[in-house]
Structure 1
């Protein structure tokens, strides 16, 4: 028997990002809302948590995540 084999697809990261983007555009798999200047934006908590340690901490502490932000705060969080 030989060792484990690996399958590599250089296009996988791009396809994955396109799929995630289409989910966002279609509001599919959204499980939270981000409120920015009074506008509710449907979001996926796992994507926000991966991009922001602050959001990750908020989601760990409060699973029913609800975050209201001012536009200037977005640069700090992400």
Structure 2
């Protein structure tokens, strides 16, 4: 299972359990924040190097989760 798959699985389970939505946290040193940081991310593959490459994991994750559970819903 990939990192993106793990986020999709967790988001799908949350929605299936009755939650209205999910938040993908990408700050404060958590996993996705580490991909964004040029200090923490020293990868040389498609997820490291340039700012565009470093944000790829976050954008891939958001796209996959939205595809699985649908677009964000506004609070009513």
- TM-score calculated relative to the size of structure 1: 0.25
User: Higher relative contact order by CA 8 Å / sep ≥ 6: 1 or 2?
Assistant: 2
Q: Give the strand-richer structure, 1 or 2.
A: 1
Q: Which structure's CA Rg is the greater one?
A: 1
